[in-house]
Amino acid sequence: MVTLNRPTGTATRRQVELSPADAERAAALRSMKTLALSLLIAMAVVFAIAFALQERVTWLQYVRAAAEGGMVGALADWFAVTALFRHPMGLKIPHTAIIPRRKDQIGAALSGFVEDNFLSAPVVRAKLDSADIARKAGAWLATPAGAERIAKEGSAAIRGAFTVLNDDDVQAVIEGLVRKHLLAPPWGPPIGRLAERVFDAGHHHRLVDLLVDRAADWVAANYDTVTHLVTDRSPTWVPNFANELVGDKVYIELSKFVAAVQSDPNHQVRKSIDKYLNDLARDLQFDPAMIARAETIKAQVLGDPEVRDLARRTWTTIKHALLDAVNDPHSELYRRFTTAIRDFGSRLVSEDELAGKVNAWIGDAASYAVSTYRSDIAGVIEDTIARWDAEETSQKIELQVGRDLQYIRLNGTVVGALAGLLIFTVAHAVFGG
């Protein structure tokens, strides 16, 4: 940083820190001020010499008139330029130091100008329409560097969000959503409607086939178990050979029965299962007693501790999965996200309809933003200038435009000299001398 001395309205001077760019502007401003002052001094020297010698050298009268006009023009323009930023020579002449005195009004006027002429929906939309942002953004997104940049920024945003978010608060939100959308509505009717569609389409038959097949396998592998069930339940006075005959008969009939159910898709047992399931699906929808039983089961399965544990485990799983994915540039999620970005960018470039929609969305969003918040956006200018110190504001503006304003002093010196020469020449020609 570079420091610049500036007057504070008294004999003391404060040192203000300047950025490198402002320091460069300050140096250019000093050079122009030196040039303008040098030209004024030159005019004064020429005037003094011409005034002293004009009686002996007649044509020096014209030089004197030109120099005199140049000094007047230089002094007048110096006063005008200086009066914008400070009191000339420290004298509090009325209507001087305009910028420091009217800083807030200037800020309000600038804010209003920006609001009226730049922050209007037609202006913003016209600029966005001509810019074709969608295709330009798509061309960048389609490059590996662009997609990688968006992926990195997205990863940083996710990490930042997890840093800011409180786990207990997020779990409370998940728990609230579970209670509102999962537990509050009755389970019976929706489950019944879903089951009815499944049963009507016959999708449950594969499950029935699986159960029957497993039953057949069990019967085939458990001869002793079946026969012992008969022997253990028969009276003690029944002879053993009779128990064995009965047990063997029961096993054979059971095997035949299971085989018949297994081989016949229209078996009465299968029909009974279908009827039971269809009745259950209808009862879950329309029977108050069955609906109440479903609600009781729901409450038993998902009580308060279970819901809180579900919310905790859900959030923990999501958090760890996302963090692991965004921290590993070689993870499947990271690679898929990057690929999706590049594909979307390529579509923006190649598909006119998609690009047109995106441009329209951008235009609508920007138009809504400037229409709704134009006063707030422009108000930033007014509020910022209002917070600035009056002299600091004057210095900031002078550093930006002061060098160009010094040309007014130079032009004033030249124009004044030409005007003085012209006036003297005309007056001399008309009135003589």
Query: What's the whole-number mean pLDDT along residues 168-186?
Result: 82
pLDDT at 214: 92
Residues in the chain: 433
Helix, strand and coil content of the chain, in percent to the nearest 5, comes to 85, 5, 15
pLDDT at 17: 67
Taking 70 as the threshold, does the pLDDT of residue 10 lie above it? no
**Number of other CB atoms surrounding residue 83 within 10 Å:** 17
Under DSSP, is residue 284 helix (H, G, I), strand (E, B) or coil? helix
With tokens 């760890």, the residue in question is 320
For 374-423, the pLDDT digits (tens) are: 888 888 888 887 887 777 778 888 888 888 888 888 999 999 999 999 99
Separation CA 321–CA 6 (nearest Å)? 59
Separation CA 76–CA 84 (nearest Å)? 13
Mean pLDDT in the chain?
84
For 222, the token pair is 């458990």
For 281-304, the pLDDT digits (tens) are: 999 899 999 989 888 887 777 777
Q: Which residues contact 304 (CB under 8 A, 6 or more apart)?
A: none
In angstroms, how far is CA 73 from the centroid of its own chain? 55
Task: Answer left, alpha or beta for residue 9, where phi above 0 means left and psi between -120 and 50 means alpha.
Answer: left
8-state DSSP, 184:
S
**Number of other CB atoms surrounding residue 138 within 10 Å:** 23
Could you tell me which of 390, 398, 408 has the C-alpha nearest to residue 25? 398
Query: What's the whole-number mean pLDDT along residues 156-161?
Result: 85
pLDDT at 433: 57
Q: What burial letters (b/e) apply to 349-386, b meaning 16+ CB within 10 Å?
A: beeeeebeebbeebbeebbeebeeebeebbbebbeebe
pLDDT at 236: 67
Whether pTM > 0.85 for this model: the answer is: no
Q: At what angle do helices 240-263 and 205-221 cross, to 10 degrees?
A: 150
Q: Any long-range contacts for 316-321 (C-beta under 8 Å, 24+ apart)?
A: 319/162, 319/167
Give the pLDDT band of residue 237 (cuts 50, 70, 90).
low
Element containing residue 4 per DSSP (H, E)? strand 2-7
Backbone angles phi, psi at 182, to 5 degrees: -110, -40
Taking 60 as the threshold, does the pLDDT of residue 12 lie above it? no
Q: Where are the domains of the chain?
A: 2-101+388-431, 134-168+321-377, 186-302
Query: What's the whole-number mean pLDDT along residues 17-34?
Result: 84
What is the CB-side half-sphere exposure of residue 65 using CA atoms within 13 A?
A: 16
Taking 70 as the threshold, does the pLDDT of residue 5 lie above it? no
By the 8 A CB rule, do 1 and 372 touch? no
Separation CA 55–CA 48 (nearest Å)? 13
Separation CA 128–CA 229 (nearest Å)? 85
Give the pLDDT band of residue 311 (cuts 50, 70, 90).
confident
pLDDT at 123: 85
Give the pLDDT band of residue 163 (cuts 50, 70, 90).
confident
8-state DSSP, 102:
T
pLDDT at 272: 92
CA separation, residue 82 to residues 33, 75, 403 (Å): 11, 10, 12
Of 193 and 15, the one with more pLDDT = 193
Q: Helices (DSSP H) in 234-351: which residue ranges?
A: 240-263, 268-286, 288-301, 304-327, 332-350
pLDDT at 9: 43
Question: With helix as H, strand as E and coil as C, how does 9-44 read?
Answer: CCCCEEEEEECHHHHHHHHHHHHHHHHHHHHHHHHH
Task: Answer left, alpha or beta for residue 103, where phi above 0 means left and psi between -120 and 50 means alpha.
Answer: alpha
For 83-113, the pLDDT digits (tens) are: 888 888 888 888 888 888 887 888 888 888 8
Separation CA 343–CA 334 (nearest Å)? 14
8-state DSSP, 89:
G
For 303, the token pair is 């009580």
Radius of gyration over every alpha carbon of the chain, rounded to an integer in angstroms:
47
The amino acid sitting at 144 is P
